[in-house]
Every structure is written in C-alpha cells, then in structure tokens.
Structure 1
Amino acid sequence: MRIGFIEDTHLRGGTQIWVTEANRFFINQGAETVILAPTGSFVAEECQAAGAQGFTYDYDAVISMDPINQKLWTEALQTCDVAICTVHPPRDSFHCSIFAGNCIKEHQLDTILIPKTGTIVPEYKREFYLPDESIRSTVITITDFTRKYLIDSYHIPEHLVELIYQGTDVKRFTPDQEKRNESLARYPLPKGASPVLGNVGTFEERKGQVVLLKAVTELVKGPLPNLHLILVGEGPDEEMLKTRVQELGLENNVSFFPFTREPVYVFERIDILVLSSLYKEGLPNVLLEAMSMKTPVVSSKMAGVPEIIKEGETGYMVEPGNSDQLAEAIHKLWSDQKAYTDMSENGRKLMENEFDKEVQFRKFLEYFNRICEK
C-alpha cells in the first residue's frame, strides 16, 4: 500500500500534526508514504524526516496551475494507491483537491483521491469534496455532523462518504506526576493563580481568543479574581491579542507561550481547557487530548463537538462568540468540584473506549484496503 498526503498549507495546527502522526503510523505498519506539500512547510519536513517520499512546490506559484506544477503533482500521485487531501480554503481559482483530481483525470492515474474534512464552510463548492466524478474518489469526514451535511446539503452519495474519527493518543496523553512537576517549570505563573485556563491553537480571528479575553475580564472582575489564562500558539493575531490584554488590564491574568509539540505539559499545567472558536472547526484534536488527560473542557458548540462533549457529563458547551455564556460555563465548572472531578473521569473513559488514535489509524488502513479491492 502506497499512501499519499496532500497538505496545501504552511500551518502547523492540529490537522498537520495528525498528518505527521498518521504518516509515521502507516510507515510502521509497512506502508509506503508520499507527502505533497509546500516547500519548507512543517508537514513536509516532518513527514520526510519520518521516511515519506517528498514532493514540494512553491505555495504561491502553484495557484497558476501551470504545466510545471501539474507535472510535479502528477509525479507525486501516480504511484499512490490512495491520496488523502485535506480540504483547505481555495486560493484564487486554485483548490488543492480539484487540482489533484485534474492531474489524476488528465493522466489517467489509478490513484483514488480522498478529500478529508472535519469542517463545514457553507460557501465551499461541492467540487472541493468530490472534484470529478469521472475519477475514483471518496470523502472521509472526521465527524458525523460533517458526514450528514455533505450527504444532505451537497447531495454526495452516501456510499462515498466515510466517517472515521481521528482519535487521540491515549497512551501519550495520560496524567503523569513527573510531567506535572515539569509543567510548573515550563509554564511559570503568578503565585496563587487559580483556576488556570488554557487555550491552545493558532492565534487568528476564527479561534475566538478575543471573546475568551472578554470572558476572562468578566470573571477576574467578579467571582474568580485569581484566574489565569495561558494562551499557547502562534499566528497573525498574536500582537493584537497582546495589545488587547493590556487594554483590558489583564497583564497579571494572561500569559502567552509559543507553539509546542508537547501539549501534554500544557494539559498538566491547566485546570480547564477552553476552546473559544467562532467557526470552521470539525472535531478539534485539542479537546480530545485534554479529555484524555482528564482536563475538563468548555467549548463552543459547533460541528462535531457535541459528539464528544455530553453536556454536564464530559464538559460544557456555549454558543460561539458569546462571552457571557463562556464566563458562566467556566465559573459553573470550577465552582462545583464534584462535577469537575466527574467530568475529568468521564472524559478519559470516553477517549479510552471510543477515540483511541491507534484504533482509528487502523480503521483508516482498513478503509484504504477495502476501497482498493473494489
């Protein structure tokens, strides 16, 4: 089995980390892998270092879809049995899955193209998910919400849309006292900070950190004056967020830390993981990881989130963009320590029973084998 990954982005978020982990797992299971991604991108470098054959391209130049890039993409795809293409936003008239589909069609490749998605963006075209019905193509969704949406709204045939949850590494994301001690050094906070909230992800508008800061302001001025929020990540809004913290007078209640490949230490350090996203989420890895670590979660209610957060059992959900609801849910969770403990245990059990990443990786391989045999 030769598995290709198409990842048209320079980001290094949860999806890209999943690609690097899937790449390593598939190689360890005896598969050969190919990574097709922008030159210098995180995912290209990580996958090649792990043993994938790399094909890289100029991120800006590829939108011309010229013969040089078409040749490169065709060379990358022609030896793959399957090619998984994350559905990223279009750039001008270019879209990665459509371009890949065109390469497969024009050169009559046997490669099965598999756009993979967890998010729903209403303005996205049907062709982003099923580029060309004259080639062999299916769709993998990582949430049932997304699967139903593609079937009901885009009228993609049900047999072409497969649900496979991504899962999390429950062995890696397990509470550990030594790591807990190390986390105190990695993430130093003011004495007496409590509760400690964490937000992990790209600093950009869709992640809703501005809304979270409003909620933190409300809590600090009210019932939780010693609350502390750590923001872990990188992105275009970082300087704006730091300025906003100063404007809100939260310098003693908010700390920024850089992107990390070891988020386990973040979860050891915090009391509550908050996902404040406004839109374009599927089933965020950070929620799965936190729950595996027995860290209770408060999240925006969207897409696949209700498939893991059972209200009052494994966490709390709020309407996206509602800072009052966010503040209320955080206070409610922290003020009831019995419910807090129950949620931490329930979340861990759910991850162990239904979202173990190794089990899910095997489901991907089983699916690839199944469709290749047809």
Structure 2
Amino acid sequence: MRVCFIEDTKLHGGTQIWVAEAVKDFIARGADVTVLTPESGWVAEHCLINGAKVVTYDYEKIINKDGKNIDIWAEALCDSDVAVCTVHPPRSGFHCSIFAGRVISEKKLDTILIPKTGTIVPEYKREFYAPVQEIKYKVIAITDFTRRYLIDTYKIPGENVKLIYQGTEVAKFTKNPDNIAKAEKEYPLPEKASPILGNVGSFEKRKGQVVLLKALQKMKVKLPDVHLMLVGDGPDEQMLKQKVKEIKLENSVSFFPFTSKPELIFEIIDILVLSSLYKEGLPNVLLEAMSMELPVVSSNLAGVPEIVKNGETGFMVTPGDIDELSESVIKLWSDKDTYNIMAKNARKLMENKFDKKRQFGEFLNYFKQLTE
C-alpha cells in the first residue's frame, strides 16, 4: 500500500501531530509512505524522523502553481495509490486539494485523491472536497456532523464520503501516578490552586481564550482558588497576556508553551475547557483529555456532541456564552460524585470507540478496499 499525505501548513497543531503519528503507524504496518509538505515546516521535520519519504516545496512560491511545482507534486503523487489531503484554508488563490487534483489530472496519474476534513467552514468551496477534474476521489470526514454536511450541503454523493474517526492513543493517554511529580515540576502552579483548568491549543481568536478569561473572572466568586493553564502558542499570545493583566488575573492564570506531550498536563489539571467560537471538527485535545479520565466543558460545535455527552462525559455550552461557561465549570466541580462518574464515562468511551490504533487500521483497510 502506497500512501501520500499532503499537509500544506508549517504549523504544529493537533492535525499535524496526527499526521506524524499516522505516518509512523502506517510504516510499521508495512505501507510505503510519502509526505508532501512545505520545506522547513514541523511536519517535514517530524515525518522524516518517522521514516517517511518527504517531498517538500516552497510555501510561498507554490501559490504561483507553475510547472516546477507541478513537477514536485507529481514526484510525490506518482508513487502513491492514494493521496490524503488535509483541507486547509485557501491562501492567495491557492488550495492544496484543488492543486493536487490538477496535478493528478494533467499528469494522468492513477492516484486516488482523498481530501480529509473535520471542520466545516461555510465559505469553503465544494471543489475543496470534490475535484472538478475527472479523477478518482473520495472524502474522509472525521465526524458524522461533517459527513452529513458534505452530503446535504455540497451534494457530494454519499458513497464518496466515508466517516472514520481519528481517535486517540488510549495506551499513551492513560493516568499514571508516577508522572505526577514530573508534571508538577515541569508545570509549577500555585500551591492552593483548585480546581485547575486546562486550555490546550493555538492562541487565536477562534479558540475563544478571551471568553474563557472573562468566564474565569466570574468563576472566582464561587471558586476563589480556581487556576487556568493556557498551553500553546499563536498570534494572540501577547494580547492574551496583556488581557490577563488588564483584568487582574495574574495570580489565576499560567502560560506554558506548545507541547507535543500534553499527557503531563492532563495529569495535573482537573477539567479541560474548550472555549472555541467556530471552526472546529473533533478536537484531538478533547479525545486525549477524556482518555485520561478528565471531564470536559466544551463549546457545542460540529462533531463535539459525538464525544461530549452532555451530563455524561462533560458539559457543552453555547460558543461565546461567558455565563454558561462559568456556571458549567462551577456545577461540574461542585458535585464530586458526578465529576467522578463523568471521568470514568469519558475513559470508557475512548476505550470502546476512539482508540487510535484501531482507527489507523480502519484508514488503511479503507485505502486497500479502494485500490483492490
């Protein structure tokens, strides 16, 4: 089985970590894996380490869509049975899945193009998912919400849209008391901090950290020792740090850099909070936290209801609703019996339905079915 991953970004988020892990797993299962990605990016570096053939291109010059870049992409695609392309936002008239379809068509390749998505953005065009060229294609949706949207709104034939959950590495994201001391050393917090909330992800408007900070102000009335860990990086980092000072939360918020090993964070936080405002699919951080027996409070977006069972594994709130977010955290922490039940339910759901090892196998089996 020959698989190409197209990852048109230099960023390092949940999707990119998943790609790097998929590459490693697929190679271990005997697949030949090529990764097509911008040079000097996080994906290029980590997938090379994992043993993949890495083909890179200039992130800025690719928007010219010239013959040189067509040849670079053709080099990666010609040796692949399937090409899995994460659907990223378009930039300067360039879109990775559209360009991949063009290359496959112009070079008359037999490669099956498979755009993969979990996030629905109404402004996105149908051709980001279903190529206009007469080439073979399928779409993988990582949430059922996304699958139904692609079929109902974009009118993509149902037989061309496959639901496969990405899952999480349940064995890795398992509570380990031996890691607590290491976690506390790496992530020092005030001694009396309780409950400890975690928000892990990029610092940008769509992630709603400003809403979370305002909700934290309200929580402190009933939870005076509540403490928030903001873990990540991104364009809004300095703005968020300034906001913390403005609303006098310096003693209640700690910033920590992006990590590819969030399991240590999950050892010390009590509740994971996802405060996103829009553009989410099925966030990996929710799966990871729930695997480590953490109840979650999350914005009700896209595929989130498929794992956050309201009142069973956590609480869902209206995106941007400061009062609802604050009240849900207070409610969850104030009822320890419910908290403990939710923690066990979250772990059980991950074990039964979202184990990444099983899901990697499902991806590969699907690719094999398409090429038989």
User: Normalising by the residue count of structure 2, what TM-score does the alignment of the two structures yield?
Assistant: 0.99
State yes or no: 1:204 paired with 2:204: yes
Partner of 2:74: 74
Q: Secondary structure at the match of 1:40?
A: coil
Provide Cα deviations, 1:257-284, integer angstroms capped at 9, x if missing partner: 0011110001001000000011111000
Partner of 1:250: 249
Q: What amino acid maps onto 1:145 in structure 2?
A: F
State yes or no: 1:195 paired with 2:195: yes
Q: What amino acid maps onto 2:15 in structure 1?
A: T
Distance 1:171 1:132 in 2: 41
Q: Please give the residue correspondences for 1:254-273 in structure 2 after superposition, counting only pairs within 5 Å.
A: 254-273=253-272
Distance 1:72 1:341 in 2: 53
Unaligned runs of 5+ in 1: none
Distance 1:366 1:333 in 2: 40
Q: What amino acid maps onto 2:340 in structure 1?
A: T
Q: Please give the residue correspondences for 1:233-244 in structure 2 after superposition, counting only pairs within 5 Å.
A: 233-244=232-243
Partner of 2:326: 327
State yes or no: 1:353 paired with 2:352: yes
**Kept after mapping to 1: 8 A contact 2:230/2:254:** yes
Partner of 2:143: 143
Q: Secondary structure at the match of 1:364?
A: helix
Partner of 1:302: 301
**Kept after mapping to 1: 8 A contact 2:230/2:253:** yes
Partner of 2:164: 164
**Kept after mapping to 1: 8 A contact 2:297/2:314:** yes
Provide Cα deviations, 1:201-249, integer angstroms capped at 9, x if missing partner: 00111111011001001112x1011100000001010000000000010
Q: Please give the residue correspondences for 1:100-111 in structure 2 after superposition, counting only pairs within 5 Å.
A: 100-111=100-111
Distance 2:96 2:227 in 1: 41
Distance 1:242 1:360 in 2: 38
Distance 1:133 1:349 in 2: 44
State yes or no: 1:279 paired with 2:264: no
Provide Cα deviations, 1:286-324, integer angstroms capped at 9, x if missing partner: 000000000110000010000001110011000111111
Partner of 1:229: 228
Partner of 1:25: 25
Deviation at 1:132, TM superposition (A): 2.7
Identity %: 62
Distance 1:217 1:65 in 2: 49
Q: Please give the residue correspondences for 1:114-133 in structure 2 after superposition, counting only pairs within 5 Å.
A: 114-133=114-133
Q: Please give the residue correspondences for 1:37-52 in structure 2 after superposition, counting only pairs within 5 Å.
A: 37-52=37-52
Q: What amino acid maps onto 1:96 in structure 2?
A: C
State yes or no: 1:16 paired with 2:28: no
Distance 1:49 1:182 in 2: 26
Distance 1:23 1:278 in 2: 31
State yes or no: 1:63 paired with 2:54: no
**Kept after mapping to 1: 8 A contact 2:102/2:133:** no
Q: Secondary structure at the match of 1:317?
A: strand
Distance 1:145 1:261 in 2: 27
Q: Secondary structure at the match of 1:185?
A: helix
Deviation at 1:343, TM superposition (A): 0.3
Comparing 364-373 with 126-135, which one deviates more in the overlay?
Answer: 126-135
Distance 1:91 1:69 in 2: 16
Distance 1:204 1:56 in 2: 27
Deviation at 1:191, TM superposition (A): 1.4
Q: What amino acid maps onto 1:294 in structure 2?
A: E
Distance 1:20 1:296 in 2: 27
C-alpha root-mean-square deviation of aligned residues, in Å? Answer: 0.6
Deviation at 1:13, TM superposition (A): 0.3
Provide Cα deviations, 1:24-47, integer angstroms capped at 9, x if missing partner: 000000001001011111011111
Partner of 1:178: 178
How many residue pairs match? The answer is 372
